[in-house]
Structure 1
Amino acid sequence: MKDLYDVQQLLKRFGIFVYLGKRLYDIEMMKIELERLYQNGLLARENYLQAELVLRREHRLEKEQENDKKITRN
């Protein structure tokens, strides 16, 4: 698993489609859904950890972009 699209495809296999309108919120909801799948034994540990790392990276990048936008506005 390399990017957010891969995580979306993983969740899609379980019938989970996430779209809240803001990318940061989407990433946070995907993390919640991913944890629920893992806790219920539907997801292998390796897949869970890979997806978790992707989501952490994407969340960090999105927050950095958001902060950059705030700085340029001021």
Structure 2
Amino acid sequence: MNRKINNFYDVQQLLKQFGFIIYFKDKQDMLEMMEQEIRELHEYQLISKDTFIKCILIINQRRMSK
């Protein structure tokens, strides 16, 4: 998967490609679940290391901004 990941929406779209639509009322829970799914996609080598790192950074930035 060589998809450009530039923002939070791109992370959501990447997860959606794999069938994950993640929404929780609690934003922190949602971010935690997204991070877990991204980690598993990387673990199973479905996304590249660069994509994994960008996604984790974007999720962490979102965590810090709330």
What's the TM-score once normalised by structure 2's chain length?
Answer: 0.86
More helix by share: 1
- Give the distance between the partners of 2:37 and 2:8, measured in 1 at CA: 14
Higher RCO by CA contacts (8 Å cutoff, separation 6 or greater): 2
Identity of aligned residues (%): 29
Gaps of 5+ in 2: none
Number of residue-to-residue matches in the alignment: 62
Gaps of 5+ in 1: 63-74
Q: Tell which structure's C-alpha radius of gyration is larger.
A: 1
Alignment partner, residue 33 of structure 2: 29
**Runs of 4+ with deviation above 3 angstroms:** none
Q: Map 1:28-67 to 2 at 5 A.
A: 28-62=32-66
Q: CA RMSD in A?
A: 0.9
What's the TM-score once normalised by structure 1's chain length?
Answer: 0.77
